[in-house]
């Protein structure tokens, strides 16, 4: 067997090993997706908090002690936040449940008036009565569906069990991940094929750079936006302003989706609370100022040009991950998008430097016969 044949055989074996690994990984995700959420969240927390643990380790704090301190502080922050905001959130949620029938009636009436005004401007007969009824009824149905869905999600036993598992298991698994994170990285590094370890390590460093910049920067942006929206909507006196503002801010990790969802919800609520243009203008000012600050001040400051994740690619990956694996897919979407983006740019550079791109076929490259 020649040397060239042996090299081809080794390459095919590596290719088969990579394909087998990806298939096994996909199968495990499909099989265990219902129980993997606490472990994925714990791994994400360990990745997010690893720089803090590393800094404590440099200051002389052991890795186990540093991991324990960090998790205790993080849990205390969450508990304090919940204790401070739980009474307000609970009262607003109770008010929403109480006022839901009036919201539905108001939405039906408002949409009916909008359709009537359009019919008046476009002329009689331009919009059928059936369309008018559908618009009015569906507006109320949307609000009713949102309230019913929220009640079912919160009240279902399966959801309660999952939330309890998330709250109990995640800190425990997160502690072990955070304690052993350097050892995990070292072990994975020893498994790399020696001829390509430099190339693979370089791409992994690039994925880590993009992912860490996006996750940490986006987390800061979401918290700031949640504070801006919640404070602004509360100041203008909107019912459920705190809930809507916090939800809009935390959904802002999906570009423009958090602002759009929050603005639509706030407009429906303000029209139900006090019909007229004053409330609509105030809501528009709150979300306009928040989105403007996000686009021109917050994101350039905390994200800047360090992130190679275009907004369209992030939206597509989140939707694809959610459609494939549900909530677990949403959590894995951004790491997968960052990895695919880095690999795609790497192979594109290789292609642009390869004979496949640069060289002409022999028949075209040869001089013409005389």
Summarize pLDDT for 155-164 with one digit per residue, the tens: 444 444 556 6
What's the confidence (pLDDT) of residue 56?
A: 92
Q: What digits encode the pLDDT tens for the residues 302-357?
A: 776 556 677 788 888 888 888 888 778 888 888 888 888 888 888 888 888 888 78
pLDDT score of 270:
82
Residues 271 and 113 sit within 8 Å (Cβ to Cβ) = no
Q: Which residues contact 265 (CB under 8 A, 6 or more apart)?
A: 244, 247, 248
- On whether the pTM is more than 0.75, the answer is no
> pLDDT category, 192, cuts 50, 70, 90?
confident
Output the pLDDT for position 159: 47
Lowest-confidence region among 31-35, 72-76, 289-293: 31-35
Q: Is 326 left (phi over 0), alpha (psi -120 to 50) or beta?
A: left
What band does 153 get if pLDDT is binned at 50, 70 and 90?
very low
On average, the pLDDT of the chain sits at: 78
Residues, the chain:
370
CA 10 to chain centroid, in Å, comes to 39
Closest CA to 291 of 243, 252, 340, 242: 252
pLDDT of residue 22: 86
Q: Which of 73-82, 87-96, 128-137, 258-267 shows the lowest mean pLDDT across its residues?
A: 128-137
- Percentage of residues in the chain with pLDDT exceeding 90? 12
pLDDT greater than 90 at residue 65: yes
| Percent of the chain residues past pLDDT 70, beyond the cut | 75
The rounded distance, in Å, linking the Cα atoms of 82 and 170 is: 17
Asked if residue 55 has pLDDT above 60, the reply is yes
In the predicted model, what is the mean pLDDT of residues 82-92?
Answer: 74
**Cα angle for residues 267, 272, 274 (degrees, 5° grid):** 90
CA distance 359 to 356: 6
| pLDDT at residue 50 greater than cutoff 80 | yes
User: In the chain, what are the domain boundaries?
Assistant: 198-259+287-346
Average pLDDT rounded to a whole number, residues 293-309: 75
CA angle 56, 38, 66 (to 5 degrees): 10
In 257-326, which residue ranges form alpha helices assigned H by DSSP? Answer: 257-273, 277-293, 299-302, 311-325
């Amino acid at each position: 067997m020649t040397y060239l044949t042996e090299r081809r055989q080794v390459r095919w074996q590596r290719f088969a090993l990579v394909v087998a690994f990806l298939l096994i990984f996909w199968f495990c995700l499909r099989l265990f997706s219902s129980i993997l959420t606490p472990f994925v969240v714990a791994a994400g927390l360990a990745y997010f908090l690893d720089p803090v643990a590393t800094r404590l380790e440099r200051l002389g704090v052991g890795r186990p002690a540093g991991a324990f301190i960090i998790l205790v502080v993080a849990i205390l922050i969450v508990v304090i936040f919940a204790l401070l905001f739980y009474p307000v959130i609970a009262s607003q949620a109770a008010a929403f449940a109480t006022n839901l029938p009036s919201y539905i009636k108001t939405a039906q009436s408002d949409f009916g008036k909008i359709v009537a005004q359009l019919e008046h401007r476009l002329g009689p007969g331009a919009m059928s009565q059936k369309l008018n009824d559908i618009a009015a009824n569906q507006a109320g149905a949307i609000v009713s569906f949102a309230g019913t869905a929220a009640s079912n999600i919160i009240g279902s036993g399966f959801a309660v069990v999952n939330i309890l598992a998330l709250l109990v298991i995640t800190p425990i698994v997160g502690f072990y991940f955070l304690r052993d994170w350097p050892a995990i990285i070292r072990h994975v590094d020893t498994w790399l094929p020696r001829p390509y370890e430099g190339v693979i390590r370089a791409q992994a460093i690039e994925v880590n750079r993009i992912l860490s910049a996006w996750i940490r920067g986006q987390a800061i942006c979401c918290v700031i936006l949640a504070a801006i929206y919640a404070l602004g909507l509360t100041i203008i006196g909107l019912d459920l302003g705190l809930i809507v503002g916090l939800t809009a801010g935390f959904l802002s990790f999906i570009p423009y989706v958090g602002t759009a969802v929050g603005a639509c919800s706030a407009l429906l609520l303000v029209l139900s609370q006090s019909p007229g243009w004053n409330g609509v203008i105030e809501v528009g000012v709150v979300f306009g100022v928040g989105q403007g600050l996000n686009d021109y001040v917050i994101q350039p400051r905390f994200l800047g040009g360090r992130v190679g994740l275009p907004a369209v690619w992030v939206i597509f990956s989140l939707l694809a991950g959610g459609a494939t694996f549900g909530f677990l897919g949403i959590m894995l979407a951004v790491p997968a998008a960052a990895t695919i983006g880095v690999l795609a740019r790497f192979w594109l550079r290789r292609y642009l430097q390869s004979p496949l791109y640069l060289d002409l076929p022999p028949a075209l490259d040869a001089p013409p016969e005389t």
